[in-house]
Chain A
């Protein structure tokens, strides 16, 4: 079985500040981990993913995430927030033999001017 926990349903940061969105997962098989972003009234867009290899993955729009197996975490970071980053962010997991994604409950990021 797989599950994803996103700590903090709402996160507010100032423009230019560090963004940190937390994701912890549970998986009985080696996980594949994803971050998706959903802008208002739009679909889900892939930010980045981890499958194998380098544990620090870089995505679009300056975001990156680090897979830490010992902590079962895949936190999303961005050094400097921009107003356009305001959106809902979803962490998701799949794994060997299972193509379907299991999503976390999402974190709404608000960026203050």
Chain B
């Protein structure tokens, strides 16, 4: 069964450093997402991406964050200058684009980011 894959599974970084989290969405999907889950809290939407541009973003997704689809398969989340409060599990996800917003969103297994 096709799946969303994410790397790295776990990354430890020093405060102020840049981090790039990588994702390979399901190959025929057109919509890509990043969500995060701070330990013990709910899963929160960060950003959605379609046709090489951001289609929707939350208030969490400020200027410290950026997303990119550098080639035909990868989808990345960059955090420019990490803060302690960025420590969380980051989930990449994708969905097919048929115009029905009830499409299932498929999630990867997550990248656990620890900022020290």
B-contacting residues of A (Cβ < 8 Å)? 32, 34, 36, 42-46, 49, 51-52, 90, 92, 94-106
Q: Could you list 7 examples of A-B contacts with CB < 8 Å?
A: A49-B102, A52-B102, A95-B101, A99-B48, A100-B33, A103-B44, A106-B43
Residues from 93 to 116 in B contacting A, C-beta threshold 8 Å? 95, 100-110
B48 adjacent to A32 (CB under 8 Å): no
**Dominant secondary structure of chain A at its interface with chain B:** strand
Q: Which residue of A lies closest to B102 (CB)?
A: A51
Q: Which of B56, B95, B100, B108 contacts A98 (CB 8 A)?
A: B56
Instruction: Give Cα distance in the complex from A97 to B101, angstroms.
Output: 7
B101 adjacent to A94 (CB under 8 Å): yes
Instruction: Give Cα distance in the complex from A97 to B99, angstroms.
Output: 9
Instruction: Give Cα distance in the complex from A104 to B4, angstroms.
Output: 22
Chain B contacts for A104, CB-based, 8 A? 42
B102 adjacent to A44 (CB under 8 Å): no
Q: Which residue of A lies closest to B110 (CB)?
A: A43
Q: Which residue of A lies closest to B45 (CB)?
A: A100
A32 adjacent to B101 (CB under 8 Å): yes
Cβ of B31 within 8 Å of any chain A Cβ, yes or no, is yes
Chain B contacts for A92, CB-based, 8 A? 43
